[in-house]
A and B are shown apart, each in its own frame.
Chain A
């Protein structure tokens, strides 16, 4: 119940294309859903986050879509650039786990120039 399932494991996108990464959760008590970006040898960086009271949040080229009834959320990267090549982790926190963050398995994104 505490798991967050992330797909795909890896993704290759052409420069200028849209990258889409999906996540699903079971615990309906989760109430904060962040996405993190991690470059090799670096710590994760908070990219964008959403609460379940909204269905979409956009920040620049990054958009989170949230479907509360389906218990799914996704990250869309518009106009993907080679500099976006990194590993992306979805996560969820709240509920009985308190503020402990549960991470998805990660998606390795490669944007071809």
Chain B
């Protein structure tokens, strides 16, 4: 149980275009989902916390107009990278928290974004 999927697993896009990444909790309902960014050989950096039906809470230094997060249902959250630039190239990982077990987070497999 507690499986989280992400789509796509990797994407290449041209500078200036937008990319949408989906995060789904497959076998449980997740009132809260988190979006992380990870650079090579580094730790996970929390970008934002997304609660179903409300606006996402962004961490300091994360541009909310650039990284649009929508948590439309209890099983789906999306991250849209708008007007992507090469410096946005990274590994993006979502996680979902099991509603009945407040502390446990289950991570998706990640999405590798390359902006050319």
The answer to whether A89 touches B44, judged by C-beta atoms less than 8 angstroms apart, is yes
Complex contacts, A49 vs chain B, CB 8 Å? 103-104
**How distant is the Cα of A67 from the Cα of B109 in the complex, in angstroms?**
32
The answer to whether B93 touches A44, judged by C-beta atoms less than 8 angstroms apart, is yes
| CB of B42 within 8 Å of the partner chain | yes
Tell me the dominant secondary structure on chain A's binding face.
strand
Chain A residues proximal to chain B, CB less than 8 Å: 32, 34, 36, 41-46, 49, 89, 93-94, 99-101, 103-106, 108
Contact bitstring B44-56, A, C-beta under 8 A = 1, else 0: 1010010000000
CB closest chain-A residue, reference B46: A100
Tell me the dominant secondary structure on chain B's binding face.
strand
| Cβ-defined partner of B106 (8 Å) among A46, A94, A104 | A46
The answer to whether A103 touches B112, judged by C-beta atoms less than 8 angstroms apart, is no
The answer to whether B32 touches A41, judged by C-beta atoms less than 8 angstroms apart, is no
**How distant is the Cα of A108 from the Cα of B112 in the complex, in angstroms?**
20
Chain B nearest CB from A18 CB (Å) reads 24
- 16 A-B pairs with CB atoms under 8 Å apart are A32-B103, A42-B109, A42-B110, A43-B4, A43-B95, A46-B105, A89-B43, A89-B44, A94-B103, A99-B102, A99-B103, A100-B49, A104-B43, A105-B42, A106-B41, A106-B43
